[in-house]
Amino acid sequence: MRLHEYEAADIFYKEGIAVPRRGVAETTEGALDIADRIGFPVMLKAQVLVGGRGLAGGIKTATTIDELEVFCGELFDSEIKGLPVKKIMVCGKAEVIRELYVGITVDGFNGKPVIIVSTKGGVSIEETARTNPEKIVSFYVEPGADLHPYQARNMLKGLDMSKRLRLGCSVVIERLYKIFKSHEALIAEINPLAVLSNSGVMALDAVLEIDDSAVSRIQYSGTDLIGRIENPLERKGKEIGVTYVDLDGDIGLISSGAGLGMASMDIIGQRMRPANFLETGGGITDKLLYKCMELLMMKEGLRGIFINIYGGINPIHEGAKGVVRYIQEHNVKIPIVAKALGNRQEETWEIFKSGGVHVVTEAATEKAIDRLFELLSK
């Protein structure tokens, strides 16, 4: 779960990391009140959870009331990379001398938290790694361990920094690591970390992504996992307990695993266009697949459905009952092809057939997609 910048900035501030004076507004009047309190010029930052927000026009500087009103009007009316702007963070504009980068993430391959610092801030760390690798240092922390202050100081030795800056920067690293650990983060990032004219450092952006699997056990009041999902279909998916990703095609998909779902999308994509990705994980029941059908049918213009499920941990015969019940209750007419293999497969096929579902019994997903394509070409 990625937090909004204003939420992450509050957490950073509480841990003692300097952030600009700020407030979050849902209307132009609200933004004006905050600007009044902070004083112009102010930054207006759209609170949408997409990368490259600045380049997409989501960040503006207002130097007057008139400018603020114009920019807020534009932002509140707009979508950034498909997401509507509902909140704007209004914050003070700092005198920046230099921009640094500080980030902490999980290195999946080594299985350890890694702290990354660069003297080149304001650009993505991947880009700096390509263009100026000498401006980056990284440091691994042992899993579960705390970061000692000396470790934060020493890791900066190789970078071009004054002693005073090194000290200020190491304190930020220490505090950011505390946040990373206590919030069970996957990413905690400050880019840029600004060096100010008084040699202090200030976080001009705040990124914090919390591990969904740990949300229930961390101390944070704002963890509404479902409410913050913008897309209504994706939100409904989360509510019923599946992963749903909305896409722009017209072939609906239900799969019982993430890898299988992605492979199904790849194969559908060779000739048709998937309307969605849907993955049930190991929780299939009669009711769950009934709700999955309901969710799929909410998408307008759906032409066909492909169900790709395996009976390993899942009782697929139960799932088939839910699908058939939905078809019969709602008189579904579009073609549905199912490939269902594994434990109790024969029973599952019979149930699907009783609801008019076309059953494919070969292992290769291609064969099932061939069948769906044929049915749709008729």
Partner 1 sequence: MSILLDEKTRVIVQGITGKIGSVQTKWMLDYDTNVVGGVTPGKGGTKVEELPVFDSVEDAVQETGANASVFFVPAAFVLDAFYETIDAGIKLIVVVPEHIPVHDAMKMRDYAIQNNVFALGPTTPGILVPGKGKMGIMPASLFAPGRVGIISRSGTLSYEFAGILSEKNVGQSTVVGMGADPVVLSNLSSILQKFEEDDDTDAVIIVGEVGGEQEERAAEFVEKHMTKPVAAYIAGKYSPKDKRMGHAGAIIRGSAGTVEGKRDILRKAGVEILNSPIDAADWAVRHKLR
Strand partners, 92: 42
**Complex with partner 1: residue 97 or 258, whichever CB lies closer:** 258
Paired tokens of 32: 């004006």
**Complex with partner 1: residue 98 or 181, whichever CB lies closer:** 181
The yes or no reply on residue 227 touching partner 1 (CB under 8 A) is no
Judged by CB under 8 A, the chain residues 21 through 50 that form the site for partner 1 are 50
Quote the CA–CA distance of 170 and 164 in Å, as a whole number.
10
The yes or no reply on residue 226 touching partner 1 (CB under 8 A) is no
Q: What is the 3-state secondary structure (H, E, C) of 182-225?
A: HCCEEEEEEEEEEEECCCCEEECCCEEEECHHHHHHCCCCCCCC
Exactly one of 15, 33, 67, 184 binds partner 1 (CB under 8 A); that residue is 184
Count of residues engaged in binding partner 1, rule: CB under 8 A? 57
Distances (CA, A) of 371 to 41, 331, 368: 62, 21, 5
Paired tokens of 240: 């019923």
Chain-centroid distance, C-alpha 229: 9
**Complex with partner 1: residue 8 or 265, whichever CB lies closer:** 265
Stretch that binds partner 1, among 17-25, 171-179, 189-197, 356-364 (CB under 8 A): 356-364
**Shortest distance in whole angstroms from residue 229 CB to partner 1:** 12
The yes or no reply on residue 157 touching partner 1 (CB under 8 A) is no
Q: Which long-range contacts (CB under 8 A, 24 or more apart) does 326-331 make?
A: 326/289, 326/290, 326/293, 326/294, 326/297, 327/293, 327/355, 327/356, 327/357, 328/355, 330/297
The yes or no reply on residue 181 touching partner 1 (CB under 8 A) is yes
Cα torsion through 191, 197, 199, 205, rounded to 10: -20
The yes or no reply on residue 245 touching partner 1 (CB under 8 A) is yes
Judged by CB under 8 A, the chain residues 66 through 125 that form the site for partner 1 are 106, 108-109, 111-113, 124
Exactly one of 261, 319, 322, 335 binds partner 1 (CB under 8 A); that residue is 261
C-alpha torsion sign, points 62, 66, 72, 78: negative
The yes or no reply on residue 342 touching partner 1 (CB under 8 A) is yes
Which spans of this chain sit near partner 1 (rule: CB under 8 A)? 50-51, 106, 108-109, 111-113, 124, 126, 142-144, 181, 184, 186, 211-214, 217, 243, 245, 247, 255-263, 265-267, 269-270, 274, 277, 279, 281-282, 310-313, 341-343, 345, 362-367
